[in-house]
């Protein structure tokens, strides 16, 4: 990506950037704890189902809209329907980018702190750590500043090159950890929890959680793929690109579960620990592993890098919007948006015990999510807003822009699309909006 409206240097550059956006804390931190909270294997199957029937076809649509309009989410909609209220879906996306980044950056800060904890060989208590206000705010500020520095300096030289090296290393490390974790005594029960479905565990809340997690993990529903698609050339194949991204993303999430659940049951811990799950289990795993502290420090470095390629993409959406639509100076606006996000994120940083008020915030009812501010932000921006955004955008793309025009755009560079074209048109016009709508209604208790 360049300062001017640029293009990816190569197809592989795009795949890495988009996969880098998709693969992040969502796969290794969020996926395992959501699976744990929602009863295990049945949720995993539901998740994979949503990735294939909703996530992928919807990703084609966002990429096509971006590449066709060469704009950020607001500009893309405006280019098709100038001056209409559809633009608000774009504004929602921009706001959601800031909203997600504000709590995601806090977790990314925890991750950086663990590099140090592992390196010095003393993870200490997790609850004391995350309730230390100054330390957590400092780590959060550091991570947001690092993100801004990279978005400021341009993405292609540094981050693209590094992620091409570090992502394969992460993959190898995960494979080794899967092997290690599954050799622990008592790990079999964990594997069963993770892979043997019990369909009675599926409820309305589970279904929204699975769909929300699919959108979150694949970076869909807020126009990120519109923005990244806008830097894509007409020669590139949207279909194969999206399939690669979806496959890698799902693979990494499944692998994280294959480490966590066997280890967790072997240690006699509960899968329902919530957001702290991986921060408690991974250090314990490293502590009992030969040479584990070095492996642990290395693991948290890689996890921080994975988080960084995601935070970059989150910051890129509001920045692209301000540059395209408000003619902002790119270098300056990066820091302004980052500073704003930091301020919005402070309550999340304080919501894990440091401040009683933010820890027991509880504006969103308990049947939907935990009371702490961070979980509430994660629910509003990381689940609800993405599903709602995808609902509006799929209608916009299927009906207002038109499924035929969108299909033509997808087909450019992907001739094989003609075979599934009618199916895709049905999906984007009817299936995706209907399913997402029903799930949203259910969320508001309409079917209770
Ligand atoms: N997908 C990322 C993860 O799994 C998080 C993320 C980055 C994201 N950019 C996004 C989520 C855009 C939704 C939309 O960690």
Reported as half-sphere exposure (CB side, CA atoms, 13 A), residue 158 has a value of: 13
Q: At what angle do helices 87-120 and 133-153 cross, to 10 degrees?
A: 120
448 belongs to a structural domain: no
What is the pLDDT of the chain when averaged over all its residues?
92
Residues counted in the chain: 448
- Residues 386, 96 contacting (CB under 8 angstroms): yes
Q: Which of 220, 224, 305 to mutate to test the pocket of ligand 1 (most atoms within 8 A of CB)?
A: 224
Per-residue pLDDT tens over the stretch 84-129: 999 999 999 999 999 999 999 999 999 999 999 999 988 888 999 9
CA separation (Å) from 66 to 277, 312, 420? 36, 18, 21
How far is ligand 1, taken at its centre, from the CA of residue 411, in Å? 26
Largest separation between any pair of C-alpha atoms in the chain? 63
131 belongs to a structural domain: yes
In the block, tokens 């509430």 appear at 376
Q: Of all protein residues, whose CA lies closest to atom 2 belonging to ligand 1?
A: 22
Average pLDDT over residues 436-443: 86
24 Cα nearest atom in ligand 1 = 15
What CA–CA distance (Å, rounded) separates 282 from 181? Answer: 10
How far is ligand 1, taken at its centre, from the CA of residue 382, in Å? 8
Per-residue confidence at 2, pLDDT binned at 50, 70, 90? very low
Per-residue pLDDT tens over the stretch 43-98: 999 999 999 999 999 999 999 999 999 999 999 999 999 999 999 999 999 999 99
How far is ligand 1, taken at its centre, from the CA of residue 14, in Å? 16
CATH code: domain of residue 190: 1.20.1740
Per-residue pLDDT tens over the stretch 299-334: 999 999 999 999 999 999 999 999 999 999 989 999
386 Cα nearest atom in ligand 1 = 13
Q: Is the predicted pLDDT of residue 3 greater than 50, yes or no?
A: no
Q: Helix/strand/coil (H, E, C) string of the chain?
A: CCCCCCCCCCHHHHHHHHHHHHCCHHHHHHHHHHHHHCCCHHHHHHHHHHHHHHHHHHHHHHHHHHHHHCCCHHHHHHHHCCCCCCHHHHHHHHHHHHHHHHHHHHHHHHHHHHHHHHHHCCCCCHHHHHCCHHHHHHHHHHHHHHHHHHHHHCCHHHHHHHHHHHHHHHHHHHHHHHHHHHCCCCHHHHHHHHHCCCHHHCCHHHHHHHHHHHHHHCCCCCCHHHHHHCCCCCCCCHHHHHHHHHHHHHHHHHHHHHHHHHHHHHCCCCCCCHHHHHHHHHHHHHHCCCCHHHHHHHHHHHHHHHHHHHHHHHHHHHHHHHHHHHCCCHHHHHHHHHHHHHHHHHHHHCCCCCCHHHHCCCCCCCCCCCCCHHHHHHHHHHHHHHHHHHHHHHHHHHHHHHHHHHHHHHHCCCHHHHHCHHHHHHHHHHHHHHHHHHHHHHHCCCCC
Q: Of all protein residues, whose CA lies closest to atom 10 belonging to ligand 1?
A: 219
25 Cα nearest atom in ligand 1 = 15
Per-residue pLDDT tens over the stretch 171-187: 999 999 999 999 999 99
How far is ligand 1, taken at its centre, from the CA of residue 346, in Å? 20
Report how many domains make up the chain. 1
Q: Is the predicted pLDDT of residue 1 greater than 80, yes or no?
A: no
How far is ligand 1, taken at its centre, from the CA of residue 128, in Å? 28
311 Cα nearest atom in ligand 1 = 7
Per-residue pLDDT tens over the stretch 184-220: 999 999 999 999 999 999 988 888 889 999 999 999 9
Per-residue confidence at 159, pLDDT binned at 50, 70, 90? low
346 belongs to a structural domain: yes
Q: Is the predicted pLDDT of residue 445 greater than 80, yes or no?
A: no
Per-residue pLDDT tens over the stretch 227-267: 999 988 888 899 999 999 999 999 999 999 999 999 999 99
What CA–CA distance (Å, rounded) separates 309 from 442? Answer: 33
Radius of gyration of the chain (CA): 21
Q: 116 or 164: which carries more pLDDT confidence?
A: 116
- Residue 323: domain span: 2-443
102 belongs to a structural domain: yes
Average pLDDT over residues 343-352: 98
310 Cα nearest atom in ligand 1 = 7
364 belongs to a structural domain: yes
């Amino acid at each position: 990506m360049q300062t001017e409206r640029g293009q990816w240097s190569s197809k592989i550059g795009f795949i890495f950037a988009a996969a880098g956006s998709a693969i992040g804390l969502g796969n290794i931190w969020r996926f395992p704890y959501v699976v744990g909270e929602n009863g295990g294997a049945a949720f995993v199957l539901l998740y994979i189902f949503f990735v294939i029937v909703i996530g992928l076809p919807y990703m084609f649509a966002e990429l096509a809209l971006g590449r066709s309009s060469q704009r950020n989410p607001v500009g893309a909609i405006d280019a098709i329907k100038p001056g209409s209220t559809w633009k608000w879906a774009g504004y929602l996306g921009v706001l959601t980018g800031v909203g997600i980044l504000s709590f995601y950056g806090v977790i990314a800060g925890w991750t950086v702190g663990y590099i140090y904890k592992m390196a010095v060989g003393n993870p200490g208590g997790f609850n004391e750590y995350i309730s230390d206000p100054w330390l957590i705010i400092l780590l959060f500020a550091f991570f947001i500043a690092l993100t801004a520095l990279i978005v400021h300096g341009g993405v292609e030289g540094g981050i693209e090159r590094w992620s091409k090296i570090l992502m394969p290393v992460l993959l190898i490390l995960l494979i080794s950890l899967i092997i290690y974790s599954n050799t622990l005594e008592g790990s079999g029960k964990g594997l069963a929890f993770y892979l043997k479905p019990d369909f009675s565990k599926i409820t309305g809340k589970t279904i929204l959680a699975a769909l929300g997690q699919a959108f979150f993990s694949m970076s869909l529903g807020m126009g990120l793929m519109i923005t990244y698609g806008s830097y894509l050339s007409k020669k590139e194949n949207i279909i194969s690109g999206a399939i690669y991204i979806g496959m890698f993303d799902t693979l990494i999430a499944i692998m994280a579960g294959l480490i966590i659940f066997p280890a967790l049951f072997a240690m006699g811990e509960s899968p329902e620990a919530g957001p702290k799950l991986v921060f408690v289990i991974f250090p314990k795993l490293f502590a009992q592993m030969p040479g584990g502290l070095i492996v642990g420090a290395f693991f948290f470095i890689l996890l921080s890098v994975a988080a960084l390629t995601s935070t970059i993409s989150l910051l890129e959406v509001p920045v692209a919007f301000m540059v395209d639509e408000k003619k902002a100076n790119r270098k300056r606006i990066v820091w302004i948006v980052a500073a704003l996000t930091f301020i919005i994120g402070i309550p999340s940083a304080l919501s894990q015990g440091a401040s009683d008020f933010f820890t027991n915030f509880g504006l969103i009812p308990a049947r939907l999510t935990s009371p702490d501010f961070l979980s509430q932000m994660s629910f509003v921006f990381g689940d609800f807003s993405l599903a709602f955004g995808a609902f509006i955008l799929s209608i916009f793309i299927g009906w207002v822009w038109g499924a035929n025009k969108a299909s033509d755009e997808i087909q450019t560079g992907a001739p094989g699309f003609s075979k599934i074209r009618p199916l895709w048109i049905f999906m984007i016009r009817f299936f995706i909006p209907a399913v997402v709508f029903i799930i949203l209604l259910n969320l508001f208790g309409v079917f209770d």
